[in-house]
Chains A and B, each alone.
Chain A
Amino acid sequence: MNVKRPRSPASFLIALLLVVRVAVAIVLVVTIAILALSLFADIRGLEMTVVPPSFGVNPESHSGWSMTIPISVAVDQGRIAAPSLGIERAEIHDLRGSLRFPVQRGRLFLGNGLLLILGIGVVLWMATELQRVLRTVREGKPFAPSNAARIGRIAWVVIVGEFARAAIVYLENSYAASHFTAEGLRFTARADFSVLAILEGVILLVIAEVFRIGTRLDEDQSLTV
Chain B
Amino acid sequence: MAIRVKLDHVLLDRRLTLTDLANRIGITIANLSVLKTNKARAIRFSTLDALCRELHCQPSDLLEWTAEEPDQE
Contact = CB atoms under 8 A, between A and B. Distances in A.
Interface in A179-225: 219-220, 223-225
Interface of A: 219-220, 223-225
Interface residues of B, number: 12
A219 B41 CA distance: 9
Contacts of B34: 223, 225
B35 interface: yes
Contacts of A219: 41
Contacts of A224: 40-44
Contacts of B35: 225
Contacts of B27: 225
Interface string B10-52: 0000000000000000010001101100011111100100000
13 contacts: A219-B41, A223-B34, A223-B41, A224-B40, A224-B43, A225-B31, A225-B32, A225-B34, A225-B35, A225-B42, A225-B43, A225-B44, A225-B47
B70 to A, nearest CB: 13
A223 B5 CA distance: 14
Contacts of B40: 223-225
Nearest to A219: B41
